[in-house]
Structure 1
């Protein structure tokens, strides 16, 4: 009887250790912070109107990418109506209450900042190691989805 209880107790300990390890792995950011440069291309846009399908590729209102560099700097470039606009700033990975984000701080005011406030910060939710999602759709901006291409 003692061996049976000891065996059951050992199994419980093993499973509880496995769960702790699994939950701590899930809390880690999927974002690769040791691989640069990283190019994130806008691949899909959605609007706030129900029933309107997302646009992709050449059907999007603009083409855009972020280039993240190992020194914590970024470049954001948008091509719209045959005009290319490029802006710069710095970035870092931050943990917020609902997940892991890239916090981008622009060097100056510009029309490419996608946020719900009047400051120079922009947030991209790290959805996976290959997908970022802009947060400005929370304030009626377009849903913007980026995939890592480099």
Structure 2
């Protein structure tokens, strides 16, 4: 378990220290991504669906590389937004979100305005890297892709 956590910390450091020359143009990832699973630091702590502590959606727009992140709790709705970039490091794809302002929605190990998610399954799944520093493991599934709707 410590080896996995160490690997995630190294990945976070590489991403946060990478220069912008490694940033690629991102296409095909626009759409809605819904939080589908949360995991904690101990075995058996996985929750899904309505049992999760909160519900969350990312909306990624392709035309201007902007995003909106919305979190729903029992009594409140929170929003954050900004821009995103796409990176490939050692054949692993990542999306780095840069929030316009500080918000509790940002899940990271660096206490800045960025959040990094690994891209899996050809862009249909995003996985947070926050669990590398004892944050929850968050998994998002693409639920809608923009296809000429004017939203991208």
TM-score (norm 1): 0.74
In the alignment, is residue 62 of structure 1 matched against residue 60 of structure 2?
Answer: no
Q: What displacement does 1:53 show?
A: 3.9
- Out of 94, 108, 112, which is 1:101 matched to? 94
Name stretches of at least 5 consecutive residues in structure 1 with no aligned partner. Answer: 1-31
Aligned partners of 2:86, 2:29: CA distance in 1, in Å?
Answer: 14
SS at match of 1:119: coil
1:1-150 aligned at under 5 Å gives the runs 33-34=27-28, 36=30, 38-50=31-43, 52-70=44-62, 71-97=64-90, 99-128=92-121, 129-150=123-144
Q: What displacement does 1:98 show?
A: 6.2
SS at match of 2:132: helix
Aligned partners of 1:82, 1:76: CA distance in 2, in Å?
Answer: 17
Aligned partners of 1:116, 1:34: CA distance in 2, in Å?
Answer: 27
TM-score (norm 2): 0.73
Higher relative contact order (CA 8 A, sep 6+): 2
Name stretches of at least 5 consecutive residues in structure 2 with no aligned partner. Answer: 1-25, 145-152
Structure whose CA Rg is larger: 1
2:150 alignment partner in structure 1: none
The CA deviation string for residues 26-79 of structure 1, in whole angstroms up to 9 with x for no partner, is: xxxxxx81464x0000000000022x2410000000000100012100000001
Aligned residues: 117
